[in-house]
Amino acid sequence: MFTIGQQEIDAVAEVINTRKLFRYADLEAGRAYACESRMKEILGCNESLLVTSGTAALICGLVGLGIGPGDEVIVPAYTWLASAGAVLAVGAIPVLADVDETLTLDPADFERRIGPRTKAVIPVHMAGRPSDMDRILEVAKARGIAVLEDSCQAVGGSYKGRYLATIGDAGAFSFNVYKNISCGEGGALLTNDRRIYERALYYHDMGSAFRGHTLSEPEFLGNTYRMNEIQSAVLYVQLGRLEGILAQLRERRNWIQDAILAADAPLTLSPSADIAGDCGVHVSFLFETGEARIRFCERAAELGCKLSSPIDSGKHVYTNWTTLLERKVGVHPKMNPFLWPENQECRIAELTPECCPRTLDLLTRTATVGVGFDQTREACEAVAEILCRTAREIAGNG
């Protein structure tokens, strides 16, 4: 959440005054419906469904794709735990793949890790960085693998002019408080595929087919991830702010990045699959070794600029997914997909702390500086100045 204020307060008050807090009190009159329509307009996709979280959006997407026990889903080793957790939530098995220097799924490693049971891949646009969707789609299409984009950290980001979450078969947004826009907690599933949408619609509302929707998919019992009108009122205002938030972030990202490039300092910016579409949440640097990265961060901190490394980002690094690595899922032993007979031919044994060494190496060698959404130009250039000075000092010519 980058900004929130009086407009959101007014929008919530308005909903409370109507006394209609349930989104399906009127099928097409409420704020939830308005948010879905607005997202379709902004993103240029056919279907959108608001749900209670980004995780719920991923689960609904997997259900919509028909993923379940006996299936494997490829997930990058650097993402929030929920990308892999959603796969287990539908009874399937996650297979981890390395990221590349962009810190998003390495298309070559994705291809290498495909097995006979691989049914889907979840490219994750981490920290607003777009994944290499051309190459991922090329591999996925050739092998008949579905693509579910985890765009939870990249709401409003794009790749080669197309919005993230609308490029693959389906995509997920999160609106929790850490994301580009927020309504406290929330998420959305985006797709151009009517079948995925209808299945997700049933699933997110306990299989309800009686609300008056016009649906052609067969009905089935699901779960409950319905969004409410209060949060939708906040989200509708936030959707109006999205373009401005991204413009502000990207402008400041460019101020920092351009100053560094202009200074020609011995500092390597992390590559991007499409810098124009990157949300501008961070500027990242790649170092030769982990030691070099630590040394750089220590000296920059002394000079007044705090960087962080993705290796220290807790449950975003697969080696910290203890419950998953220890196969602890659910309470009842028969509710653990790792133990199901259907999944015994899946590559469960490959889920170890050693499975993605390249990811660990790259995360250790990367440092990032956060972009302040309302930072002044002077402050951005001061950050760039410290980074350049640090790099020159360490290189021994400053």
Ligand X SMILES: *Cc1c(COP(=O)(O)O)cnc(C)c1O
Mention every residue, 6+ apart, whose C-beta is less than 8 A from residue 260: 267, 269, 283, 384, 387, 388
Rounded CA-CA distance 172/164 in Å is: 9
Lay out the site mask for ligand X across 157-176 (x = CB under 6 A, - = otherwise).
Answer: -----------------x-x
Rounded CA-CA distance 334/336 in Å is: 5
Sequence letter at residue 11: A
Among the listed residues 39, 82, 235, 297, the single contact to ligand X using CB under 6 A: 82
Sequence letter at residue 113: R
Choice between 176 and 336, CB closer to ligand X: 176
The first and second tokens of residue 148, run together, are 């579910």
Lay out the site mask for ligand X across 109-128 (x = CB under 6 A, - = otherwise).
Answer: ---------------x----
| Closest alpha carbon to 94 in 74, 79, 119, 76 | 74
The strand pair at 47-51 and 187-191 is best described as: antiparallel
Among the listed residues 98, 106, 111, 150, the single contact to ligand X using CB under 6 A: 150
Sequence letter at residue 277: G
Residues 256-295 touching ligand X, rule: CB under 6 A, are: none
Report the nearest approach of ligand X to the CB of residue 39 (Å): 16
Report the nearest approach of ligand X to the CB of residue 159 (Å): 16
Is residue 55 a contact point for ligand X (CB under 6 A)? yes
Is residue 313 a contact point for ligand X (CB under 6 A)? no
Q: Are 345 and 117 in contact (CB under 8 A)?
A: yes
Is residue 153 a contact point for ligand X (CB under 6 A)? yes
| Closest alpha carbon to 385 in 282, 307, 290, 304 | 304
CB atoms within 10 A of CB 314: 8
CB atoms within 10 A of CB 156: 24
Angle at which helix 377-395 crosses helix 290-302, to 10 degrees, equals 130
Residue entry with tokens 């777009």? 130
Report the nearest approach of ligand X to the CB of residue 82 (Å): 4
Is residue 375 a contact point for ligand X (CB under 6 A)? no
Choice between 11 and 60, CB closer to ligand X: 60
Task: Using CB positions, name the residue nearest to ligand X.
Answer: 54
Q: Are 167 and 159 in contact (CB under 8 A)?
A: yes
Rounded CA-CA distance 169/192 in Å is: 7
- Sole window of 48-56, 64-72, 265-273, 325-333 interacting with ligand X (rule: CB under 6 A): 48-56
Lay out the site mask for ligand X across 176-215 (x = CB under 6 A, - = otherwise).
Answer: x----------x----------------------------
Helices and strands: H and E segment counts in the chain: 12, 11
Among the listed residues 31, 51, 54, 132, the single contact to ligand X using CB under 6 A: 54
Report the nearest approach of ligand X to the CB of residue 293 (Å): 23
Report the nearest approach of ligand X to the CB of residue 244 (Å): 22
Among the listed residues 36, 61, 83, 189, the single contact to ligand X using CB under 6 A: 83
Residues 341-370 touching ligand X, rule: CB under 6 A, are: none
Lay out the site mask for ligand X across 220-259 (x = CB under 6 A, - = otherwise).
Answer: ----------------------------------------
Q: Are 180 and 279 in contact (CB under 8 A)?
A: yes
Choice between 136 and 300, CB closer to ligand X: 136
Choice between 56 and 259, CB closer to ligand X: 56
The first and second tokens of residue 306, run together, are 């705090």
Q: Cα separations (Å) of 237 from 46, 234, 361?
A: 21, 5, 41
Q: How many residues does the chain have?
A: 398
Report the nearest approach of ligand X to the CB of residue 264 (Å): 34
Catalytic residues: 179
Choice between 53 and 131, CB closer to ligand X: 53
Report the nearest approach of ligand X to the CB of residue 154 (Å): 9
Question: What does the binding site for ligand X look like in residue numbers (CB under 6 A)?
Answer: 53-55, 79-80, 82-83, 124, 150, 152-153, 174, 176, 187
